[in-house]
């Protein structure tokens, strides 16, 4: 199978898959390939935090032209996957000098499937691009064509808990990936000081408690497959829920906008995590660390893309607040405003290239020592 992911998350996803029990895990570009049975495919969709889709390849072949593709698609026994009553949709990704138009490839695939059914039965299944019973994925790398079934359906960042969003909400898979890159493991207190609709805090709680990432999702594409096994799925779901763990620290999400706080609370309720996360109204720049011991901060400040800010002043305030009020803290944040980073006034100990949608961004880490850095090393 193939798990697709975002740029920079390949290694984390590989680790997630190995921890779940996947076989023959191989890291690729924005994807990780692996082996597993049907039950593992269900588990991967339920549990993976950094995957956006799980594809199940069914056949591959070298193709040189349009006719090769048409004949190849026609040679597949589609009745094993599709009935006349079912609807289907085709998506294509092309990285080739022989083929340049992905939409054309998708159309050619659709024609070949429809024609095959017509030849065999005199009738054809319908296409439904919104809610198909079967989602077919075509991937062409130069002259190598792979036909896969999309077991997820809609992107796996649609967790099912977020019904209320703000102007610039962070993608749930991106949030989970940033948390895992930051080393968040639920073994300290956590703060998102600019929480928006609460995604980062919710994902942090799900990681801390080992709750399956997509437990609140309404459905997966494999539930409409001809070999759908409800009993097996329910057993796997129950086994995954039995592996949740206790959490003995605090997770706080804060935002200065009352509307954001209301939305975050609503999403928190949807995720059934109100026992683990506290959402409150407040301006980060007027706060200080409230709890003894280590604090892990991860947040997604405005970039001046969709939310207007005075970049120089805003980023300087982030640095000043961390320096003056948050000693004993590991603070991470993501930004695509690389100019803004120059005004933080602190030297990051780590800088990781990631993407927020199409925006190239950096995930940066600032270590705020308790007392001076010199004193810290003197006491070692």
pLDDT digits (tens, 9 = 90+) for 159-191: 999 887 766 678 999 999 999 999 999 999 999
What tens digit of pLDDT does each residue of 200-215 get? Answer: 999 999 999 999 999 9
Phi, psi of 285 (to 5 degrees): -70, -10
Is residue 369 domain-resident?
Answer: yes
The pTM of the full predicted model, rounded to 2 decimals, is: 0.91
Alpha helix (H) residue ranges in 21-160 = 38-47, 66-74, 102-121
- In angstroms, the CA 332 to CA 364 distance is 5
Find out whether 122 and 116 touch, Cβ atoms under 8 Å: no
Range of the domain at 140: 2-150
Is residue 42 domain-resident?
Answer: yes
Q: Percent of the chain at pLDDT above 90?
A: 86
Read off the CATH number of the domain in which 112 is found: 3.30.2130.30
Could you please report the per-residue DSSP string of 137-194? EEEEETTEEEEEEESS-S-TT--S------SSPPPHHHHHHHHHHTT--SSSEEEETT
Statement to judge: residues 179 and 118 lie in one domain: no
Find out whether 99 and 139 touch, Cβ atoms under 8 Å: no
Statement to judge: residues 188 and 110 lie in one domain: no
Is residue 161 domain-resident?
Answer: no
Residue 376, pLDDT above cutoff 50: no
SS3 15: helix
How far are the Cα atoms of 195, 201, 244, 319, 362 from residue 253, in angstroms, in the given order?
A: 5, 6, 22, 19, 22
Statement to judge: residues 8 and 121 lie in one domain: yes
Is residue 140 domain-resident?
Answer: yes
Residue 82, pLDDT above cutoff 70: yes
Statement to judge: residues 250 and 368 lie in one domain: yes
Statement to judge: residues 146 and 198 lie in one domain: no
Q: For residue 304, count other CB atoms closer than 10 A to its CB.
A: 17
Statement to judge: residues 205 and 67 lie in one domain: no
> Any idea which of 110-119, 249-258, 309-318, 341-350 has the lowest mean pLDDT?
309-318
Is residue 159 domain-resident?
Answer: no
Statement to judge: residues 125 and 251 lie in one domain: no
Q: What is the mean pLDDT of residues 124-141?
A: 94
> Model confidence at 292, in pLDDT bands (50, 70, 90)?
confident
Statement to judge: residues 125 and 78 lie in one domain: yes
The total number of structural domains in the chain stands at 2
- Beta-ladder partners of 192: 253
> Model confidence at 353, in pLDDT bands (50, 70, 90)?
very high
Residue 304's pLDDT is what? 58
Is residue 228 domain-resident?
Answer: no
Residue 126: which H helix or E strand, with range? Answer: strand 126-127
Find out whether 56 and 225 touch, Cβ atoms under 8 Å: no
Residue 313's pLDDT is what? 92
Residue 3, pLDDT above cutoff 60: yes
Residue 308's pLDDT is what? 65
Statement to judge: residues 86 and 192 lie in one domain: no
Crossing angle of helices 66-74 and 102-121, rounded to 10°: 40
> Model confidence at 57, in pLDDT bands (50, 70, 90)?
very high
Last residue of one domain, picked from the residues 119, 150, 181: 150
Residue 374's pLDDT is what? 43
Is residue 223 domain-resident?
Answer: no
Statement to judge: residues 75 and 142 lie in one domain: yes
């Amino acid at each position: 199978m193939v798990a697709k992911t975002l740029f920079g998350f390949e290694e984390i996803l590989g680790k997630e898959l190995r921890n779940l029990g996947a076989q023959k895990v191989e890291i690729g570009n924005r994807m990780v390939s692996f082996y597993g049975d049907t039950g593992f495919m269900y588990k991967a969709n339920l549990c993976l935090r950094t995957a956006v889709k799980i594809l199940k390849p069914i056949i591959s072949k070298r193709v040189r032209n349009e006719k090769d593709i048409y004949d190849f698609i026609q040679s597949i026994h589609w009745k094993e996957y599709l009935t006349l009553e079912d609807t289907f949709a085709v998506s294509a990704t092309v990285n080739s000098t022989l083929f340049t138009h992905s939409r054309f490839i998708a159309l050619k695939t659709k024609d070949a499937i429809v024609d095959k059914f017509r030849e065999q039965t005199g009738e054809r299944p319908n296409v439904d691009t919104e809610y198909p019973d079967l989602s077919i994925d075509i991937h062409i790398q130069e002259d190598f064509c792979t036909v896969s079934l999309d077991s997820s359906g809609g992107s796996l960042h649609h967790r099912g808990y977020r019904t209320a969003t703000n102007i610039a909400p962070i993608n749930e898979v991106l949030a989970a990936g940033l948390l895992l890159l930051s080393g968040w493991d639920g073994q300290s207190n956590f703060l998102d000081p600019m929480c928006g609709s609460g995604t980062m805090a919710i994902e942090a709680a799900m990681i801390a408690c080992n709750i399956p990432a997509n437990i609140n999702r309404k459905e997966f594409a494999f539930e409409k497959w001809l070999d759908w096994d409800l009993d097996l799925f329910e057993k796997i779901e129950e086994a995954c829920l039995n592996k949740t763990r206790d959490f003995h620290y605090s997770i706080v999400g804060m935002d200065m906008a009352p509307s954001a706080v209301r939305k975050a609370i609503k999403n928190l309720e949807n995720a059934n995590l109100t026992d683990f996360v506290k959402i409150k109204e407040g301006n980060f720049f007027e706060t200080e660390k409230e709890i003894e011991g280590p604090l892990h901060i991860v947040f997604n400040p405005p970039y001046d893309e969709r939310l207007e800010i005075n970049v120089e002043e805003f980023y300087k305030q982030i640095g000043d607040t961390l320096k003056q009020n948050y000693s004993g803290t590991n603070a991470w944040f993501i930004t695509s405003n690389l100019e803004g980073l120059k005004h933080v006034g602190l030297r990051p100990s780590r800088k990781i290239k990631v993407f927020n949608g199409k925006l190239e961004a950096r995930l940066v880490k600032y270590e705020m020592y308790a007392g001076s850095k010199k004193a810290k090393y003197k006491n070692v």
